[in-house]
Chain A
Amino acid sequence: MMQEKRGMMKVWNVWLVFITFLLCITGTFLTRSGVVASVHAFAQSSIGNWFLGFIGVVLLTCLVAYFKNRDYLESENQLDAMVSRESSFLFNNLILLVSCVAVLSGTLFPVFSEWLSGNRISVGAPFFNKVNIPIGLLLLFLTGVGPLLAWRKTSRESLKRNFAGPLAAGAVGCVVAFALGYRQFYSLVCLTLCVFVAGTITLEFYRGAKVIRARSGASFLASAVDLTMRNTRRYGGYIVHMGMVLIFGGFAGVAFNRDVQKDMQPGSTMQIGPYTLRLQSLDSRPEKNYTAERMNVEVLRNNKQLMMLYPERRHFNVNANEPAGTMVAIYSTLKEDLYVVYAGESPETNLPVIHAYLNPLVKWIWLGGAVVVFGTLVALLPNRKSVLVLAAVPGTVPQGIAGQALAQPFTPRPAMREGHD
């Protein structure tokens, strides 16, 4: 966008393209060569050397292409201010690159550590969560800040005008979330930023739609749709941002994840959150290529039956030593997901065991994904342009001559109408 609009950051763009391709190949090299243990390293062979050679050739090609064409990559404009849309793009790029460094260094560190110290260590999910959560939150913050900054230069007055509302909304969101029980630091910050970003996006739509509404007299919703169709890339982009807000909101729910495991006799119950699970019975169901051991679990809320869930374990006929497959039963709502797992039989009591998980806001992550896809589709649509149409002003055309306007003389007056190009 920077290159297209302002002819800037061409070298940066070209190198981002080069690095992206090189990293894709490097990722494949790491897993397929066996450098990093992976389930994808299913075929150990000398293919790693070929990959390494290919990476070298690609790097050389990139360098030659860059040095041969660098005259065309001169920037056409200069940056006018530190606080501007352009600089927000730079910071945004920086955060994404830092995230890339964090993932790459975490992935490769066990290899380097073993080479250097002979000591084998693991870098698992807790490391990546600790390192990437702050980076993700910074990115979310910039998602809210970027659209509010003007191209070239943002004045102090503009900053105050644009940020006051969303910041206030974010502060209120923080207080409400805290009152609702969000105590985990990252979850609280995440929800606060979600409200802030949602505020900035809403403000953008509101301001644009208000102008169109004042001119056309259409409803607010129609004006917002019209606004979006006039600049699909910009407003489609905002819809994508809103999808990200929903996804991050879903992530914030992790603070309330919980699980309970219990040996269950038929007729006994267990409690998880507001739900009571009652094991009604167990049965066995032979299928074509497996036999399913099935639990019939009644889900109750406030002593009222909500639904039946049927978690099962599948024993496949192919190999008796093959471990049973677990089929999870899910009850999903906008508020939370309840997963019920038939975890096997307790060796001590010989009773079937239920492992239940209650994960809040999971559906918002899926919804956010759908909104991101929708926003992308909107951004791909061509812009609708305002066109000047000559139209008769009501009252100047005599009754009964509709369709014969050109046959009769009347005074045409220009009036603005919207139309597709």
Chain B
Amino acid sequence: MIKAAVTKKRQLQAIAWVLLAASVALAAGTAATLQAQQTDRAKEIGGKLLCGIGTPLCDCKQILTQCNHVGCRNSAGMLKTLDQSVAKGDSEATILQNFIAEFGTAVLSEPPKSGLNLVAWYLPGAALFAGLLLVILVISRWLRRGAAAIPSAAGPTQGVSSELLARARAQASRETQD
């Protein structure tokens, strides 16, 4: 009888522990799906960080403050750390450095403007500059070739037949339609 009562008590304790664990897990889950309150400064710094880097929790790789990944289990923790750092009054460089120390440089949403990464920043501008030069060179070459093709003196215009004139008009009309 006593043995049965002890067994029942243990069962109840086990159920209580399971319920407690479940409620803690539920609370943690709820917390994880909620985006933390953000100040303007936290939003600005969070815009320079990516969510879901270097963690198996989530692979969304979205801007931290804009992570709209349903049920993202990563952003809530990162946002909380960010908010705490901002509340402490840490500088932006310190906050970013702390995140880099934890997640690596890949946590930054854009390449740092130093070293090899400068190639990424300057390549589009260099392509534009080189392309502009190329286009101007090509046009200049065409212009020179076009000028060389035109006879030096105006040829006799009286010999132009009406057929040739009509053809020229049709060509001009076609070429200038659009």
Taking Cβ atoms with an 8 Å cutoff, the residues of A that contact B are 1, 5-6, 37, 78-82, 87, 90-91, 94-95, 97-98, 101-102, 105-106, 109-110, 113, 116-117, 119-127, 130-131, 135, 150-152, 231, 233-234, 237, 261, 322-326, 343-347, 353, 355
Question: Are A324 and B33 touching (Cβ within 8 A)?
Answer: yes
Question: Are B128 and A98 touching (Cβ within 8 A)?
Answer: yes
Question: Are A233 and B178 touching (Cβ within 8 A)?
Answer: yes
Task: Specify the main secondary structure of chain B where it touches its partner.
Answer: helix
Taking Cβ atoms with an 8 Å cutoff, the residues of B that contact A are 27, 29-31, 33-35, 37-38, 47-48, 50, 53, 59, 61, 63, 70-71, 104-112, 115-117, 119-121, 123-124, 127-128, 131-132, 135-136, 138-140, 142-143, 145-146, 149, 174-178
| 18 A-B pairs with C-beta separation under 8 A | A1-B178, A37-B59, A79-B142, A79-B146, A94-B128, A94-B135, A98-B128, A102-B123, A105-B120, A105-B123, A122-B50, A122-B53, A122-B110, A125-B63, A234-B177, A234-B178, A237-B178, A347-B34
Question: Are B110 and A123 touching (Cβ within 8 A)?
Answer: yes
Residues of B within 8 A of A82 (CB): 136, 139-140, 143
Bound complex: CA of A292 vs CA of B112, how far in Å?
Answer: 43
From B70, B105, B143, A121 is in contact (CB under 8 Å) with: B105
Residues of A within 8 A of B34 (CB): 343-347, 353
Residues of A within 8 A of B47 (CB): 126
Bound complex: CA of A326 vs CA of B104, how far in Å?
Answer: 31
A-B contact count (CB 8 A): 147
Bound complex: CA of A101 vs CA of B128, how far in Å?
Answer: 9
Residues of A within 8 A of B142 (CB): 78-79
Closest residue of chain B to A353 (Cβ to Cβ) is B34
From A95, A122, A123, A323, B70 is in contact (CB under 8 Å) with: A323
Question: Are B70 and A131 touching (Cβ within 8 A)?
Answer: no
Question: Are B177 and A120 touching (Cβ within 8 A)?
Answer: no
Q: A324-B33, A344-B33 are in contact. Are A127 and B109 (CB under 8 A)?
A: yes
